[in-house]
């Protein structure tokens, strides 16, 4: 199981390294440069608003389905069509509640128009995620890897034409970016469903009331968890845009740093997507989870500590590489956001383990506390510190919730603390900070190169990454 996990993790990372960073830092950032901070900030706030009630599109079905299919793969043919048509029904529930919320929030007619398209895009993304949950549950990780990047690949192609050719004229509009997303998501959703058809047979309209009620009842705890975590992860930009007179501009500043966090966070998210079905199947068969857990800690936390600290220490330089208007405020906001990559990575490991073990009650109480903390911190910090305050609120919230999940997991599974891993992570952090201190008088390229090099050396010396991991990947790929 460990070898298969490593093999498919390697494939996921390679594909996503080729596609997603270019989209986030190449296409998405260029869109912001073209349309300006205020217009992009307004779009970014609307996008996050469309996420807030996103749980009504899913109601926990995706996580429940991943875990269920991983443990009972024979059920996919029986359940797929029923769940698929239930998801379509849930779209109308989501769209109704989101539209009513938007009216009470006071969005203009143009903002409401954009929100309608963003809601439809959320539905298409939900269809893709549901399809991927079946691929993951069946351990068809290679198919899942291809689908995970297809939408971004298409979006790169569409937006490249709009941004760097004269086909749409010289002025780029944010609406075009939204339309391009719709086209990319629609094509990807169709491809994903067609691929699943080979696993499930012919897809029929088969919405059964009794089945839907049982499914929603079983997935409800997952729905509550996802809703609470979505709220405390996405409220920041919405509150920025609504609480401040210059809210659109501040949301745009916040988006500059958030984009970098999104770029690195996608790898941790892919990691968690592989971990959930793997943990679920190991727990189902009462097999040892600790080799996979230690592997996850070594790989993901070493990467997040190195990336988070290095990006924080070189925050202004890194923003200058991509954006035209970088201020001290946007640099500090980015610094706090990128540091939150460390606790988010902890959440992806231990939160995923607890989800696979169905410890939803503990996770929901944790997430509820995180939501209350995040709202209070934003109300206190945003009026005084604006985007920087929202970023700091995110860092504090993610750190507290990650710590709680770590404690819960260690108590439930009676995990022995691996001091070699945590000692190595501490040494890595000290080395990165010291390297930056001694090289900060050099030019940026030399300083960050030496700091990165020292981080890699420590990761290898402490065994946080082992070359045997690569050999295991290659050996398994040859046997698979």
Give the model's pLDDT for residue 220: 73
What is the per-residue burial (b if ≥16 Cβ within 10 Å, else e) of 273-311? bbbbbbbbbbbeeeeebeebbebbbbbbbbbbbbbbbbb
Spatial separation of the C-alpha atoms in residues 436 and 453, rounded to whole Å: 11
Same domain, 45 and 193: yes
431 and 396 housed in the same domain: no
Determine the pLDDT at residue 248.
86
Structure tokens at 28: 């998405």
Q: How far apart are CA 49 and CA 364, in angstroms?
A: 21
Roughly how many angstroms between the first and final C-alpha of the chain, as a whole number? 12
Last residue of a domain, one of 365, 385, 416: 416
pLDDT at 405: 94
Q: Which DSSP helix (H) or strand (E) runs through 120?
A: helix 109-137
Q: Measure the CA–CA gap between 268 and 261, rounded to whole angstroms.
A: 11
pLDDT at 398: 94
Nearest-5° Cα angle at 273, 267 to 277 = 150
pTM: 0.75
Q: Which of 416, 437, 453 is the last residue of a domain?
A: 416
258 and 393, same domain (yes or no): yes
φ/ψ (deg, to 5) at 60: 80, 5
Of the residues 396, 416, 436, the one at which a domain ends:
416
Which pair of structure tokens corresponds to residue 24?
């986030």
Name the token pair of 126: 């939900």
328 and 268 housed in the same domain: yes
Sequential pLDDT tens for the chain (480 residues):
445 555 555 555 666 666 777 787 788 888 888 888 889 889 988 998 888 877 777 766 666 666 655 565 555 556 666 666 777 778 888 899 999 999 988 888 999 999 999 999 999 988 888 777 777 666 666 777 788 788 888 999 999 888 888 776 667 889 999 999 999 999 999 998 888 777 655 555 555 666 667 766 777 777 777 778 878 777 888 888 888 888 888 888 888 888 888 888 877 777 777 787 778 878 888 888 888 888 888 889 999 999 999 999 999 888 888 787 778 888 999 999 999 999 999 999 999 899 888 888 899 999 999 999 999 999 999 999 999 999 999 999 999 999 999 999 999 998 888 888 999 999 999 999 999 999 988 999 999 999 999 999 999 999 888 766 555 444 433 333
349 lies in which domain range? 2-416
Q: Is 60 helix (H, G, I), strand (E, B) or coil?
A: coil
For residues 288 and 435, membership in a common domain is answered with no
């Amino acid at each position: 199981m460990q070898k298969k996990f490593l093999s498919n993790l390697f494939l996921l990372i390679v594909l996503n390294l080729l596609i997603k960073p270019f989209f986030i830092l190449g296409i998405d950032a260029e869109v912001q440069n073209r349309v300006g901070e205020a217009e992009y900030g307004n779009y970014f706030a609307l996008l996050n608003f469309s996420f807030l009630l996103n749980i009504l599109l899913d109601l926990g079905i995706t996580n429940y389905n991943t875990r269920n299919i991983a443990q009972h793969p024979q059920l996919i043919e029986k359940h797929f069509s029923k769940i698929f048509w239930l998801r379509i029904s849930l779209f109308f529930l989501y769209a109704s509640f989101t539209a009513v919320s938007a009216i009470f929030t006071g969005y203009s007619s143009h903002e409401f128009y954009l929100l309608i398209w963003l809601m439809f895009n959320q539905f298409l993304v939900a269809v893709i995620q549901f399809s991927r949950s079946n691929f993951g549950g069946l351990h068809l990780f290679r198919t899942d890897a291809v689908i995970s990047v297809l939408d971004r690949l298409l979006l790169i192609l569409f937006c490249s034409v709009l941004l760097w050719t004269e086909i749409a004229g010289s002025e780029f509009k944010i609406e075009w970016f939204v339309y391009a997303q719709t086209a990319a998501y629609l094509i990807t959703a169709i491809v994903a469903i067609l691929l699943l058809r080979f696993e499930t047979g012919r897809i029929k309209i088969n919405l059964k009331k009794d089945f839907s009620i049982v499914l929603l009842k079983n997935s409800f705890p997952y729905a509550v968890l996802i809703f609470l975590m979505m709220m405390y992860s996405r409220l920041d930009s919405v509150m920025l845009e609504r609480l401040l007179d210059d809210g659109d501009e501040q949301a745009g500043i916040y988006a500059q740093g958030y984009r970098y966090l999104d770029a690195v966070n996608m790898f941790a998210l892919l990691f968690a997507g592989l971990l959930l079905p793997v943990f679920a199947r190991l727990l189902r068969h009462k097999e040892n989870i600790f080799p996979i857990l230690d592997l996850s800690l070594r790989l993901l936390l070493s990467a997040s500590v190195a990336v988070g600290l290095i990006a924080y220490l070189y925050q202004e330089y890194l923003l200058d590489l991509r954006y035209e208007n970088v201020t001290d405020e946007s640099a500090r906001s980015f610094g706090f956001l990128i540091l939150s990559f460390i606790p988010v990575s902890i959440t992806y490991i231990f939160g995923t383990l607890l989800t696979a073990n169905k410890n939803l009650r503990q996770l929901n109480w944790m997430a509820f506390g995180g939501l209350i903390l995040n709202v209070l911190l934003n109300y206190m910090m945003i009026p005084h510190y604006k985007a920087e305050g929202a970023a700091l609120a995110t860092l504090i919230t993610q750190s507290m919730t990650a710590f709680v999940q770590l404690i819960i997991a260690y108590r439930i599974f009676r995990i022995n603390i691996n001091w070699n891993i945590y000692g190595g992570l501490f040494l890595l952090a000290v080395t990165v900070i010291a390297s930056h201190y001694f090289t900060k008088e050099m030019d940026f390229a030399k300083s960050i190169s030496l700091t990165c090099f020292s981080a890699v050396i420590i990761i290898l010396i402490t065994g946080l990454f082992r070359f045997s991991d690569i050999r295991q990947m290659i050996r398994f790929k040859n046997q698979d």
